Amino acid sequence: MLKKYILGASSLSLLVAMPVFAQNGPTLDEVIVTSQFREQGLQDVPLSVSAVDAKIIEEQSVVKIEDLTTFVPNFTYTETGISTNFFIRGVGSGINQGFEQSVGVYVDGVHYPRGQQVRAPFLDLERVEVLRGPQSILFGKNSVAGAMNITTAKPTDTFEGSIMTSQEIEDGETIVETMLSGPISDRVRFRVAGRYRDLDGWITNATLGRDEPNREELTVRGTVELDVTDDLMATFKYEHSDFDSLGRNMEIENAQALGGLTYGQVLAGLFGADPSVLNETRDGIRSSNGDFSNNKMQTAQMTLDWQWGDHDVQTITAFEKLDYDEVCDCDFTGANVFLAALQEEYEQFSQEFRITSPLGDKFDYILGAYFQTSDHVYNDQIIINPNSILILALGAPGPLLSGTQAARIANVDATVLSAFAQVNWHFNDAFTLQLGGRITNDDREGNRVMDIQAAGGGALPAAQAGAAVVYAGGFSISSTNLAGLAGLGDPTSIFLLGALGQPQVTGERNVTKFSPDVKLVWDANDNAMLYASWARGFKSGSFDFRANNRGASATSSDAFEFDDEQATNYEVGGKFKLGASAEINATAYFTKFDDLQISIFDGTLGFNVGNAATSEVKGIEVDGRWALTEHVRLNGGLSIMDFEFTDFENGQCYAGQTPNSNDPATPNLCSYTGLSNQLVSDFSGNIAIDFDHQIGDFEITGLASMFYASAYDAAPTHDPLGRQDGYAKFNARLAFAPQDGPWEVAILGKNLGNEIVRTYTGDAPLAFSSFGRKTNYSFFGQGRTITVQGKVKF
């Protein structure tokens, strides 16, 4: 707590002191962003935006979206056993492959809606902009929490190239990145970039005797610009990325004994599991039979930019494809309990048309239309091998499960049509009214089916037909096999099918929504801009991929579909230039979310989704830059946030918690009303100083930074054992190079204080429901790293 207020006071002191010293001195470089589809200075955009440029991305080894969390207060990211979650202002999407993301991700104007796509590595970027609050007008329907606007580097008019390598000492990470760019002719330019990364890992898997997570990534991109005429330019881009991993950065912790035995002691002592399961504390060592995730992603894009008189016309045509194949040892121990295999295929075609007027004295505008069609297929299998301890633990019914799997197939086909407009009405030189709106039609069809099969696929042997009853009674999994037995009159199957719901469901949705946005902008003078805004956005409803049963819903059809999520945001802010050498920005906001889409762990092996929660988020964000001298610069930012669920009575109880829902329809669930969301820090902030110093013909550059976040719940169930205390991370970099020379060498230290941060906590599957032992699994971030970097330009 003391740390929180010390950092808050120091950051505020920095920003308050800036006006005193900034009136005379050196000049800051202007930060250019495209968050309103025009190239503008960051200080001219009436939005809360953080921009991270190519220099920071390269020098600070920002290799993926996760690394941005220490540069952008109010942005958090985590990976779970089966999903990827990222949040802005405390809002994101939960665990379910049927969810689209609440934080929209756009690369060169193309929407990447799947969470797994966010795991793709960064390559040769110009900048990343993080826009906070609903961005539904210019970016699209699903960006209710915010948007990430990622811009890749473009071909150059002159030849240039580079090779950058880095070697991390602590955890064995190697990165090689290369780029070549230049003209082919007077009208054609190209850029080719590639990046390879190999990481040994920072957690030891004692079961398999290896370091994890081991990552191997290869990304290549080619871009060609063609001046078709003096007024028309065509840009063609293709990118392919493979990003694979072995193992996870996860450990078992908080193991509680019952009858003198913890979960690990039961597994090892009673069922002969590998002794590695006895490690049930956080110490950088885990037990697991092995996990992997193999991912492939491709994007092909054509962009046409046409100068039509004094208007800019742009069309973006894109095709993207994501495929991944994963195996999760999802009991999260080195015992042979069960495996979960997951496969996902997503294909999307999109076409956007946009016309932008010149900036005018009275009016200027952006008009556009968007079309998207997508095909999304998801499969998973819960696999029980012949040597699974469940066969012994379940007693007489156990052998029925030997060599079987519960297999799910889910599919959604969707078509999106939308039109949008944003108009700026300049009353006079000082006041502008910005009116925006987007109307969107979302049409989709979905289906899901669950079968009990022989492991690897195929029909069950007749002698194991009763496995469907064991899956239903022991793990709450409905199946077509169970429905078949019920149809034959089996009373146990009839009862279980009634309790769990039908295993095969279909659904259709066709929804049209309008999203408005109103801003009033006051350019008080050349150095001060104030704005106030009101916006409403929504995130599409869809169909639940991950449920094994109907949960608390009356029918499986009711449980299968979930509705749109809506956000209403009120915001006031200001951007100020304090002389030529300093800038300060401040924002206050209040956001109300209705019908928040939630994912509820069913206590055994599945997740049920629905709409139940309303929440309110309010806070203050401040950031600033200050050129102390021509060679020393200071920047910082802070966020104070209050997130509260105002109505959330159907939250999942953590293992051992007494249900306390105030809704009589959900007596076995828990109330989250009045609580915050997972990963929400009441306070977070960063501060950094960088410098350059000339020594003869050479230059030394350096940077030191600190990021702080106050305590938060790493467990979405608010399990107190998953609470992460406040922490601070320190980074530093020192580089040496000739002035304007062709090479540079540097050393980079990240997380120098070696803070091991908990990013997600859950109940170990089956530990409590089947074995009666309260046990958690948690994902932990990387500790201290020391990296040597080298770059050659040619």
Q: What is the mean pLDDT of residues 479-496?
A: 94
Query: Which is more confident, 564 or 13?
Result: 564
Cα 684 from Cα 711, distance rounded (Å): 10
Q: What is the mean pLDDT of residues 437-456?
A: 95
**Could you tell me if 240 and 298 are in contact, meaning their C-beta atoms sit under 8 angstroms apart?**
yes
pLDDT for residue 149: 92
Cα 641 from Cα 308, distance rounded (Å): 45
Look up residue 509 and give its two tokens. Answer: 């949705």
**Could you tell me if 253 and 777 are in contact, meaning their C-beta atoms sit under 8 angstroms apart?**
yes
Q: φ and ψ at 401, to 5 degrees?
A: -90, -10
Cα 683 from Cα 167, distance rounded (Å): 34
**Strand, helix or coil at 654?**
coil
**Could you tell me if 305 and 233 are in contact, meaning their C-beta atoms sit under 8 angstroms apart?**
yes
* 173-214 pLDDT tens trace: 999 999 999 999 999 999 999 999 999 999 999 999 999 999
Question: Is a pLDDT exceeding 60 seen at residue 1?
Answer: no
Question: Is a pLDDT exceeding 60 seen at residue 767?
Answer: yes
Look up residue 203 and give its two tokens. Answer: 């957690």
Cα 533 from Cα 517, distance rounded (Å): 7
Look up residue 351 and give its two tokens. Answer: 């076409």
Look up residue 773 and give its two tokens. Answer: 């032992």
pLDDT for residue 613: 75
pLDDT for residue 93: 78
Cα 695 from Cα 463, distance rounded (Å): 82
Identify the band that residue 264 occupies on the pLDDT scale cut at 50, 70 and 90.
Answer: very high
Q: What is the mean pLDDT of residues 441-465?
A: 94
Query: Which is more confident, 289 or 740?
Result: 289
Closest by CA to 132, choosing from 123, 140, 143, is: 143
What radius of gyration do the chain's Cα atoms show?
27
* 574-617 pLDDT tens trace: 999 998 899 999 999 999 998 888 777 776 777 778 777 789 99
Pairing, β 504-525 against β 528-539: antiparallel
Q: Residues, the chain, total?
A: 794
**Residue 694: other Cβ atoms inside 10 A:** 10
Closest by CA to 778, choosing from 122, 284, 299, is: 284
* 19-74 pLDDT tens trace: 444 456 788 888 888 888 888 888 889 999 888 888 888 888 888 888 888 888 88
Cα 358 from Cα 637, distance rounded (Å): 33
Cα 155 from Cα 149, distance rounded (Å): 19
Identify the band that residue 667 occupies on the pLDDT scale cut at 50, 70 and 90.
Answer: confident
Cα 103 from Cα 125, distance rounded (Å): 20
Question: Is a pLDDT exceeding 50 seen at residue 13?
Answer: no
What is the per-residue DSSP string for 135-196? -TTTT-TT-SSEEEEEEE----SS-EEEEEEEEETTTTEEEEEEEEEEESSSSEEEEEEEEE
What is the per-residue DSSP string for 474-506? HH----HHHHHHHHTT-HHHHHHHHHH--SEEE
Question: Is a pLDDT exceeding 50 seen at residue 514?
Answer: yes
Query: Would the pTM of this model clear 0.85, i.e. be above it?
Result: yes
pLDDT for residue 8: 45
Identify the band that residue 635 occupies on the pLDDT scale cut at 50, 70 and 90.
Answer: very high
Q: φ and ψ at 15, to 5 degrees?
A: -75, -30
Q: What is the mean pLDDT of residues 246-251?
A: 94
Torsion of CA 535, 540, 541, 546, to 10 degrees: -120
Question: At which residue do the structure tokens 């009033």 appear?
Answer: 520
**Could you tell me if 547 and 508 are in contact, meaning their C-beta atoms sit under 8 angstroms apart?**
no
Q: Which amino acid is at 464?
A: Q
Mean pLDDT of the chain: 91
* 342-380 pLDDT tens trace: 999 999 999 999 999 998 889 999 999 999 999 999 999
pLDDT for residue 6: 42
Cα 469 from Cα 397, distance rounded (Å): 9
Strand partners, 569: 535, 591
What is the per-residue DSSP string for 563-606? --EEEEEEEEEEEEE-TTSEEEEEEEEEEEEEEEEEEEE-SSS-
* 294-352 pLDDT tens trace: 999 999 999 999 999 999 999 999 999 999 999 999 999 999 999 999 999 999 999 99
Helix, strand, coil percentages for the chain (3-state, nearest 5):
15, 55, 35
Q: φ and ψ at 630, to 5 degrees?
A: -65, -15
Cα 138 from Cα 157, distance rounded (Å): 30
* 15-29 pLDDT tens trace: 444 444 445 678 888
**Could you tell me if 84 and 116 are in contact, meaning their C-beta atoms sit under 8 angstroms apart?**
yes
**Could you tell me if 102 and 591 are in contact, meaning their C-beta atoms sit under 8 angstroms apart?**
no
* 698-715 pLDDT tens trace: 999 999 999 999 999 999
Cα 591 from Cα 582, distance rounded (Å): 30
Closest by CA to 53, choosing from 31, 35, 72, 85, is: 31
pLDDT for residue 11: 45
Look up residue 707 and give its two tokens. Answer: 């990021």
**Could you tell me if 90 and 679 are in contact, meaning their C-beta atoms sit under 8 angstroms apart?**
yes
Question: Is a pLDDT exceeding 90 seen at residue 254?
Answer: yes
Cα(first)–Cα(last) distance of the chain, in Å? 50
Question: Is a pLDDT exceeding 60 seen at residue 291?
Answer: yes
Is 609 exposed, middle or buried (CB count within 10 Å of its CB: 0-12, 13-18, 19+)?
A: buried
Question: At which residue do the structure tokens 């495209």 appear?
Answer: 34
CA–chain centroid gap for 668, Å, is 30
pLDDT for residue 81: 67
Kindly report the three-state secondary structure assignment for every residue of 394-429: CCCCHHHHCCEEEEEEEEEEEEEEEEEEEEEEECCC
Cα 265 from Cα 278, distance rounded (Å): 6
pLDDT for residue 681: 94
